[in-house]
Structure 1
């Protein structure tokens, strides 16, 4: 009788989802935000990532144009950047495990993997500071070489976005729920970590392998 009354009180096309529903998968997200509609947090993250992509694109365009200067001297990247890349990749794997575990209702496994992903992000920032120290040790400072200046600028910008992601991660890690909203938040963390890994790989490609000769050839000046 109670179930029949609940069905009668629920409008057609609306799903009732408990906060403790296992997994809180796609159906749970539709229940919270409307069937077929994206959650506002998901849309907001896509917009933010678009803005960040445009920002880094402008910095990379300035980097390419600055290569024409006669004072440009290519720098060798310290080995620590490859270590930080491996650490960030491992953090992304952990975040992906957390996302998948949360969607299938395995919240204990999801939270363990989430914490590992956050720890990997912290380790990434620490290794990047170590890379800066290594660059200073060989007298590559922002003031004496445009290439060095861009190295510090681009890696610092990426590090700041990683720190911003860790602020959001702290809120997600403190969420003890197991419903659709919690699952969505874990998924957003994973998506942002994957995005930062993609940005980092592009930055490394530009800093490590892009040369004035390659730029001249691509632009038709070679």
Structure 2
């Protein structure tokens, strides 16, 4: 329980730091005069949908945190047998990181209004994320062919459940990124609206990459060393 609370506290600290970086905790009445801080017409303030995304990501992070805590607690059972990590997951991790980097590139290009590079970056991020999902499905097939089926033992069940849940979130991000990519090729979309859409896609991609890195560390066994260290510090 102490390790779980420590982990959740770390997640909460990261979220608070991130929100402060997004100016969600700013105090406009303590800043400069209204004349100096009035937003320009081409750069409207962040709409409610952006705050809604942060709230949604906070909920998603809490859900994954609970599943990870259950994973650690279930590992102590006698019927738990570890399973190998497919080498393909390394490739998939690189694909997802490249997709996140491509969307960050798209975000930078959108700020400067460079539409040609923006479209290229969006297409690259979309294709790389799709390849990540295809790689995850192939990793499932390799494990099934090797005899590591879903109901064989709790370790297998957690692996398929967590990777499947993460894949569903990536699929949802693909739908939104695909829609944003189509809009980028349209000639009548307002630049401010396009910048907002790209910004949301990049933020979502970075978050899902962070979640995947935690899951990958969990499956590879690296997180166990971290938990052991926390237990030693708390004991």
Q: Does TM, scored on the shorter chain, surpass 0.5?
A: yes
Does the CA contact (< 8 Å) of 2:217 and 2:223 recur in 1? Answer: no
1:68-91 per-residue CA deviation (whole Å, 9 max, x = no partner) reads 100111111001111100111111
Q: How does 1:55-70 map to 2 (within 5 A)?
A: 55-70=63-78
Unpaired runs of 5+ residues, structure 2, are 1-34
Aligned mate of 2:44, from 29, 33, 37? 29
> Could you say which residue in structure 1 is the equivalent of 2:141?
133
Q: Distance in 2 between matches of 1:72 and 1:15?
A: 58
1:102-158 per-residue CA deviation (whole Å, 9 max, x = no partner) reads 101101211110111011111000000000001011100111121111110110000
Two-structure CA RMSD over aligned residues (Å): 2.1
Does the CA contact (< 8 Å) of 2:100 and 2:202 recur in 1? Answer: yes
* Aligned-pair CA distance for 1:219: 3.2
Q: Name which structure has the greater RCO, CA cutoff 8 Å, separation 6+.
A: 1
Does the CA contact (< 8 Å) of 1:68 and 1:212 recur in 2? Answer: no
Aligned residues: 194
Q: Distance in 2 between matches of 1:212 and 1:179?
A: 46
Q: Distance in 2 between matches of 1:179 and 1:212?
A: 46
> Could you say which residue in structure 2 is the equivalent of 1:121?
129
Does the CA contact (< 8 Å) of 1:114 and 1:173 recur in 2? Answer: yes
Aligned mate of 1:78, from 63, 80, 86? 86
* Aligned-pair CA distance for 1:209: 1.3
> Could you say which residue in structure 2 is the equivalent of 1:153?
161
Using structure 2 for the length normalisation, give the TM-score.
0.77
Does the CA contact (< 8 Å) of 1:75 and 1:147 recur in 2? Answer: yes
Using structure 1 for the length normalisation, give the TM-score.
0.81
Query: Of Structure 1 and Structure 2, which has the larger fraction of its residues in helix?
Result: 2
Change in CA separation of 1:77 and 1:174 when aligned onto 2, cut-off 3 Å? same
* Aligned-pair CA distance for 1:216: 5.6
Does the CA contact (< 8 Å) of 2:143 and 2:149 recur in 1? Answer: yes
83-92 vs 204-213, which moves further: 204-213
Change in CA separation of 1:70 and 1:213 when aligned onto 2, cut-off 3 Å? farther
Q: Distance in 2 between matches of 1:213 and 1:71?
A: 21
